[in-house]
Structure 1
Amino acid sequence: MKKKLPLILFLVIASSAFSQRKSELFAEIDTLKTRISEVEQELAKARREISSANAEAETLKAENITLRDANATLLSNMSNFSELSKQNSDNVDRAMEALARKERQLSGINDMISANDSTAIVSLTRIKQTLGENAKVGVEGGIVVISNSITALFDSDTSSELTEEGKTWLAGVASVIKTNPNFKAEVEGLNITGEYGPTYNQVAAVASALVTTLEVPAESINVTAKDGNFKEGINIKLQPDYKGFYAKAKESTKGN
């Protein structure tokens, strides 16, 4: 019995030590499980944060692409605007140049019109010197009008034979026409009866005397007969050479 007691004691101690060690192992296992759980929770949290960070990164990437595209569009629009602005500026410059040309053209035409008017006024003075201060001479719209009555020229309304007074008057008119080659002459007969035959014969007689007797160029003479609106008589109208005037105006337009 005494020999077995140490063995029993050893077994008891060993059993007690084993039980204690087992309890410690279980405690360590529980601690490890707790740590594993905590680690898994931290890992899950880290994964969530990584996922959120990745989502934010994708969002920022998409926004960056959008901003880059918007910036490219803005630069393109600025380039287009600059080009359009340049084109508009060029168009304005061309319009201003065209306007300046038109102003020069109009200025040239106005100068020619003023020159014609001035010529008519100067001619009026010379015509009065030629025909006498009592001559019926006036200017209407740049046209010099020399007038005389039917009685003074033909004695009667139906006659087409010039009187001596009429011939003298026509000689002065012929001198005026020939000394003003820049004007075209028109013999105008005014009628108040509505019977234009005698009036036309009188106008023709005046024109014939100017051309055949007084040697006025035929191309410088036109003849008309019309209603005088309660006035009758013969008018010699000296008007600018409108054909030449428009030719000069056309050349002025081309030159500018």
Structure 2
Amino acid sequence: MIKYFTLAVVLFLSSASVQAQKKSDLVSEIAELKTALDSVKNSLAISRKKEVVSKTEAESYKAQADELLETNKSLMENINSFTKASIEKSENIGKTLESLQEKEKQLKAITDRFSSHDSVALAVLTDFKRVLGENGNITVASGAVIVALNEVTRNGLTSKDAAARAKTDEFIKKIAGVIKIYGDATIVVESATNTGEFDIALNQATTLVNKFVKQHSINTNRISAVSKDGGFSEGLNVKVIPKFDAFYFTLREQLKTNN
């Protein structure tokens, strides 16, 4: 009996010892599990923090990217506007240059025409000086070449002295010779009076015109006689005027062609 009781006690103690050992192991295991759980929680918390940081950074990057895209869009629009403005400016400069070139052509045409006109006047002046020599009082005014007849020559127009008339006729013949060379020129015989006797002055101019027409075959359509107030002087002039109407008509047509 005692033997069985002892055995039972041993078994009970053994069982209690085993249970105590299991409980200790369980507590230890629970502690380990708790530690592991805390570690997992910490890792999860860290991961969540990192996720928040990553999300914030991603949103920041996206905002920066959007801002860069908007800036790039604005920059491209500005570049396009600048390019368009540059092209328009270049086109305007090109048109301005073309216009300036056309104006330059017009000015050259005008200059050439005036040079041509001046050349004719110079040629007339040169020819008069050549044929009249020192006896010729020759000037140029308003594009016309003017030969002034001195008092002796004027008086010889109506003088009864044959020698005086012959000398005047010889002088007039020389003038007529130059006039015939320039068939397009207009001739004006102008008599100036200082007494107000315009009829007498006009008669004197007409007498000279008749000599040119009858004795030297100058066309009546290109020669005329006029009188004017000479102020304090009198005189008789032969004006040789280049054909201005043809000159300016040609010039006008040249300008139309250039336009």
TM-score past 0.5 threshold? yes
2:158 is aligned with what amino acid?
T
Task: State the secondary structure of the residue aligned to 1:182.
Answer: coil
The CA deviation at 1:48 is: 1.5
The CA deviation at 1:171 is: 6.7
CA contact (8 A) 2:205 2:227 kept: no
Question: Structure 2: how far apart are the matches of 1:27 and 1:213?
Answer: 157
Question: Structure 2: how far apart are the matches of 1:214 and 1:133?
Answer: 22
Q: TM-score w.r.t. structure 1 length?
A: 0.74
Deviations 1:44-100 (Å, cap 9, x if unpaired)?
111111222222222223333333344344444444444443433333333333222
Q: Structure 1 residues 203, 245: CA separation in 2 closer, same or farther (over 3 Å shift)?
A: farther
Aligned to 2:216: none
1:126 is aligned with what amino acid?
D
Q: Structure 1 residues 223, 33: CA separation in 2 closer, same or farther (over 3 Å shift)?
A: farther
Q: Structure 1 residues 113, 40: CA separation in 2 closer, same or farther (over 3 Å shift)?
A: same
Q: Structure 1 residues 47, 247: CA separation in 2 closer, same or farther (over 3 Å shift)?
A: same
Aligned to 1:144: 145
Deviations 1:29-57 (Å, cap 9, x if unpaired)?
22222221221111111111122222222
Question: Structure 2: how far apart are the matches of 1:49 and 1:220?
Answer: 114
Aligned to 2:69: 68
Aligned to 1:235: 237
CA contact (8 A) 2:189 2:236 kept: yes
Deviations 1:94-129 (Å, cap 9, x if unpaired)?
333322222222222222222222211221233345
Q: How many residues are paired up?
A: 245
Task: State the secondary structure of the residue aligned to 2:147.
Answer: strand
Aligned to 1:34: 35
Question: Structure 2: how far apart are the matches of 1:27 and 1:226?
Answer: 148
CA contact (8 A) 1:174 1:210 kept: no
2:108 is aligned with what amino acid?
S
Report the more deviating stretch, 120-129 or 71-80. Answer: 71-80
Task: State the secondary structure of the residue aligned to 1:4.
Answer: helix
Q: Higher helix proportion, which one?
A: 2
Aligned to 2:9: 8
The CA deviation at 1:190 is: 5.2
Indicate the percent of aligned positions where both proteins have the same amino acid: 31
1:185-224 alignment to 2 at 5 Å?
A: 185-188=187-190, 197-198=196-197, 200-209=198-207, 214-215=212-213, 217=220, 220-221=223-224, 223=226
Aligned to 2:51: 50
Runs of at least 5 residues in structure 2 that lack an aligned partner in the other structure: 214-218
1:244 is aligned with what amino acid?
A
Runs of at least 5 residues in structure 1 that lack an aligned partner in the other structure: 156-161
CA contact (8 A) 1:149 1:232 kept: no
1:236-251 alignment to 2 at 5 Å?
A: 236-251=238-253
1:108-123 alignment to 2 at 5 Å?
A: 108-123=109-124
